[in-house]
Amino acid sequence: MTDKRTVFAVAAHPDDIEFNMGGTLALLVQAGFEPHMMNLSRSNLDSNELSEAEITRIRLCEAQRSAQVIGAVLHPPIADDLMIFYEDRLLRKMTAIVREIRPSIVLLPSLNDYMEDHTNTARLVVTACFSRAMKHYRSDPPREPTDQDVYLYHAQPHLNRDGMRTLVQPDLVVDISDQMDTKLKMLGCHESQRQWLDETQGLDDYLESMRQSGAEVARISGRSAWQYAEGFRQHSHVGFSACDRNLLADVLGERVYQGS
C-alpha cells in the first residue's frame, strides 16, 4: 500500500500549534499533505472564572475552529493541564494515534522549553513514532503496527528560548511570510486565551507576540527578504526512517533555509 502524504502537528495545548508551526503546516497542506492536529491537554485549567467543564468545552470548540481554517482533522485530547507525563498510559494512547494517522512528517514541540507539558509532549510523540512498527507493543486502543518512514521536526520553543532564557538556534528555517494571515486567523480562533495569558503570563497581545517571534526567526535565518519564519530542528532518522532524508526541505524547496 502506498502511504498517503500525511502531516501530523501535535502540541501540548490549544494554540501551541498555531503559534509555533501553523505556517509550515499550512504550507504542507498547500503541497498536498493531509493535515492532522492534536493538542494533548484539554486545557481544563485555562480560566480562573469559568468551571473546568466550561473552559474545557470552550477550548475544544476553539481548537476545532482553528483546524477548520486549513481543513485539518483534529484529534481529541488525552490529558489534563499539568498532567502530561512521560508514562505508560499516555504513551499507549499516543502510539494508537500515530498508527492510525500513518504520518510521514511530524511537527512537534521542542525537547527543551520553559514548560514540562511541552517537553513531555515531545518525548511522548517521539517514542510513539518509534514504537509504531513494534508488533508486540500494544497501543490503546489496539491498532496494527505501521512501518512507513516518518520524519520528525521539533518546532522552536515559545518565544524561541528555553527555560534558562537561552536562544534556541534552529537547524532549518521555513519562510512563512505569506502564511502569516492564516496563522493569525488560526490563532485568533483561541479567543479565550487573550485574558488568560494576560492574567497569568503577561502576554497582553499574543497575536503580536506571535508576529514578533516569527520575525525573530526570520532575522536568525539571515534571509533579508523573509519577513516571518518558523524554525525547526530535525530529529535523528535512526529508528524512524530507512534513510537520512530531510523530507520537509524536499517538499517545500526554496522556502526552507538550512544554515551551515
Tell me if 155 sits within 8 A of 108, measured CB to CB.
yes
**33's grid cell:** 499533505
pLDDT for the residue numbered 166: 95
Distance CA 117, CA 168 (A): 18
By percentage, how much of the chain surpasses pLDDT 90? 85
User: How many other CB atoms are found less than 10 A from the CB of residue 49?
Assistant: 9
pLDDT for the residue numbered 2: 46
What are the structural domain ranges in the chain? Answer: 6-258
Give the pairing of strands 172-175 and 256-258: antiparallel
Please give the chain's pLDDT, 260 residues, in tens.
445 799 999 999 999 999 999 999 999 999 999 999 999 999 999 888 899 999 999 999 999 999 999 999 999 999 999 999 999 999 999 999 999 999 999 999 999 999 999 999 999 999 999 999 999 999 999 999 999 999 999 999 988 999 999 999 999 999 999 999 999 999 989 988 766 665 555 555 778 888 999 999 999 899 989 999 999 999 999 999 999 999 999 999 999 999 75
pLDDT for the residue numbered 3: 57
pLDDT for the residue numbered 260: 57
pLDDT for the residue numbered 201: 56
pLDDT for the residue numbered 252: 98
Residues 74-116 have pLDDT tens digits of: 999 999 999 999 999 999 999 999 999 999 999 999 999 999 9
Map grid coordinates 490563532 to a residue. 187
pLDDT for the residue numbered 202: 53
pLDDT for the residue numbered 195: 63
Class for the domain spanning 6-258: alpha beta
Strands in the chain per DSSP E: 6-11, 34-39, 73-75, 105-108, 151-155, 172-175, 229-234, 256-258
pLDDT for the residue numbered 194: 67
Burial 69-81 (b: 16+ CB within 10 A, else e): bbebebbebbbbb
pLDDT for the residue numbered 1: 41
Residues 19-50 have pLDDT tens digits of: 999 999 999 999 999 999 999 999 999 888 89
Tell me 73's DSSP state.
Answer: E
